[in-house]
Amino acid sequence: MTFNDIFKSSFLENVTSVSILDMVIALVLAFGVGMFIFLVYKKTYTGVMYSSSFGVTLVALTLITTLVILAVTSNVVLSLGMVGALSIVRFRTAIKEPLDIAFLFWSIAVGIVLAAGMIPLAVIGSVIIGVILLVFVNRKSHSNPYIVVVQCDGHDSETAVKSYLDGHTKRCVVKSKSAQKDAVELNLEVRLQDDNTDFINEVAELDGVQSAVLVSYNGDYMG
């Protein structure tokens, strides 16, 4: 064994396995497409509280996936080790919105496709997916539901509230009812005829009604 063999390292031989130009092009394109995914996510978000950190995560995830796949495609042995390393990773963060899963998978898929050198597929495919999401997520084919919470003192006032809401809303369905002695609480799902919510003031003024609350409902429902 010579002196040069002692300091010979396969690590240094891997430095040039991926060219600098390929890295720059892939990462710049990943950043651009990741920003596009972030903007589409921001425009199509329909949840209760928007999280800007999740949008930044989409950009970072695109870049990180591109980086990992570039390394994997340049070394077969490394790809096997990467599979074993990533198999022990566990994420505990809960995904609250079902559509967020699609954006996460979109970011990962773009990173993989870009690192594989399929640039037209990544760019054109992302544009098509983004347009489809913008059209379908922002399209409102139904009126938004609301929940009306009414506290009244008995059967007569309950009937009056139900009759009034039937005549001043598109749809009125009783979701739950809680009854105590001389007290009834109703939870009703209503669809407004227009954006005017003054009817809730008139409900509160009906005889026997103690209070009336109108709440916007953004949960899952069947139209």
User: What is the per-residue pLDDT across 71-102, written as a single tens digit (0 to 9) for each?
Assistant: 777 665 566 556 555 555 566 666 777 788 88
Q: How many domains does the chain contain in total?
A: 2
- The SS3 of residue 220 is coil
Q: Does residue 2 form part of some domain?
A: no
* Residue 221: predicted pLDDT: 43
* Residue 90: predicted pLDDT: 62
SS (H, E, C) the chain: CCHHHHCCCHHHHCCCCCCHHHHHHHHHHHHHHHHHHHHHHHHHCCCCCCCHHHHHHHHHHHHHHHHHHHHHHHCHHHHHHHHHHHCCCCCCCCCCCHHHHHHHHHHHHHHHHHHCCCHHHHHHHHHHHHHHHHHHHHCCCCCCEEEEEEEECCHHHHHHHHHHHHHHEEEEEEEEEEEECCEEEEEEEEEECCCCCCHHHHHHCCCCEEEEEEEECCCCCCC
* Residue 122: predicted pLDDT: 92
* Residue 84: predicted pLDDT: 58
Predicted structure pTM score: 0.63
What are the tokens at 10? 């396969």
User: What is the per-residue pLDDT across 166-204, written as a single tens digit (0 to 9) for each?
Assistant: 888 888 888 888 888 878 888 888 888 777 788 888 888
Give the mean pLDDT of 203-212: 87
Residue 48 has pLDDT above 80, yes or no: no
Q: Are residues 87 and 15 in the same domain?
A: yes
Q: Are residues 105 and 151 in the same domain?
A: no
Q: Does residue 222 form part of some domain?
A: no
Q: Are residues 155 and 206 in the same domain?
A: yes
Q: Are residues 49 and 133 in the same domain?
A: yes
Q: What is the dihedral of CA 179, 184, 185, 191, to 10 degrees?
A: 120
Range of the domain at 26: 8-138
User: What is the per-residue pLDDT across 124-170, written as a single tens digit (0 to 9) for each?
Assistant: 999 999 999 988 887 655 667 888 899 888 888 888 888 888 888 88
Q: Does residue 3 form part of some domain?
A: no
Q: Does residue 1 form part of some domain?
A: no
